[in-house]
Structure 1
């Protein structure tokens, strides 16, 4: 996965100077199953590092677009010997991430650069612990692992994120480690804070039923009230995950 690491390295360096937006999507079906994804919109990178990114992605001069997809299971298979040496807890975290698929789309003509990862789920409640499991990525190659760096803003020990859905209500709740959050607040020069200073984090959830009410007063509704959207500055969200706690009641 050396090529992927090179691509992510270029994206990380460029993110320091431009604003990128992150979206957490959940699409719930009538039976409670659905799809979870996190997307990074890096269109602003094209103006600054389009040629560099194109080269890293293997784009030729006459190419109009590129679409690259790979799975976490592929990454873990290539690192199976290293993973086998980790603790049972760490191995369990990797197992939970195996279903994720990563996709990179770049289209200069359309000014499009999307970096996404998604996974299906059988029950909304199964999504609990996914974000924390991403922190295990750092254990693959240590601090130099660029893939782990890319997910450092999502996977950490600062809070535990849980989800629940019973057809009548939906809940997103971050249980925060006060000690860890105090440490983050004191670190005003951290790399993650510098990279994501002007970025935004958005929740976009679609349900099979119309929404009656949402606990967050900043939530926006689609015309049919089946989709809600909440936007928040990324660094403020990482420093105070409880700001995006939600309780949704359906009609």
Structure 2
């Protein structure tokens, strides 16, 4: 199934003291529009419902799986620990052609977000080992471009920098980027960052501002972001 329109948005709301909230939102409504009755039937059979509206925390999941998690390595357990405060929200409505997925978490310091994807990569690795058929969900794999994101906020400046594993990124390009290009050909990856102060300058030439210059939005083709994560790097200076 080709996900012809699946858009990703990073929403970041930073308070003056450096605390705030982070959310990753995925709008796969284009998938619903394309799949039609077949997806409706699939959802109905697997979930006994044509409408899904579910909210849960990773902390609840990990508590239920604590015995299995205790058998993981110290590094894997630490990576999962970073995900405990994430809340997940899934909304599916085939009739309304709606498919929305979001993960959000509060943070005490912007820098705490820099390794936020470690836990998701750990979950992906664990799932891969337990998948007897070796199947792969393109939506699950879509966020893994082997780049860690380093965030920093001083009150006067803000930065978002992708730290790239060039060897791993080259392997992605060689092994699977062709499939990614086909699946996410018309998808977008968007940054939408709200700050407590007006922005004076921003390094990314494609950035757009709100009327009060406190919100910065940057949009790139998703495949472009996967190939070149550094294109969404930002250096912001406040007034």
Give TM-score, length-normalised by structure 2. 0.86
SS at match of 1:130: coil
Does residue 59 (structure 1) correspond to residue 45 (structure 2)? The answer is: no
* Cα separation, 2, equivalents of 1:58 and 1:208: 45
Alignment correspondent of 2:141: 152
Distance of 2:83 and 2:144 partners within structure 1: 12
Indicate how the Cα distance of structure 1 residues 193 and 30 shifts in structure 2: closer, same or farther if over 3 A, else same: same
The answer for the alignment partner of 2:217 in structure 1 is 229
RMSD over aligned Cα, in angstroms?
Answer: 2.5
- Which structure 2 residue ranges, 5 or more long, are not aligned? none
Determine which of 168, 184, 197 is the counterpart of 2:172: 184
- 1:68 deviates by 1.1
Give a deviation string over 1:106-162, Cα, whole Å, max 9, x none.
Answer: 356765321111111111111010023310012443343999864422246x22211
Query: When the two structures are aligned, how many residues end up with a matched partner?
Result: 232
Report if aligned partners of 2:5, 2:29 keep a CA contact under 8 Å in 1: no
**Aligned-pair CA distance for 1:33:** 1.0
Match of 2:67 in 1: 81
Residue number in structure 2 paired with 1:5 = none
**Contact persistence 1:21–1:42 (CA under 8 A):** yes
Per-residue CA deviation, residues 169-193 of structure 1 (Å, 9 max, x unaligned), is 0000111112112212222556545
Which residue of structure 2 aligns with residue 219 of structure 1? 207
Which structure 2 residues correspond to residues 194-205 of structure 1 after superposition, within 5 A?
194-205=182-193
**Of 163, 167, 175, which residue of structure 2 is paired with 1:175?**
163
TM-score norm. by structure 1 comes to: 0.82
C-alpha distance after superposition, 1:184-210 (max 9, x if no partner): 222255654543233111111001111
SS of the aligned residue for 1:86 comes to coil
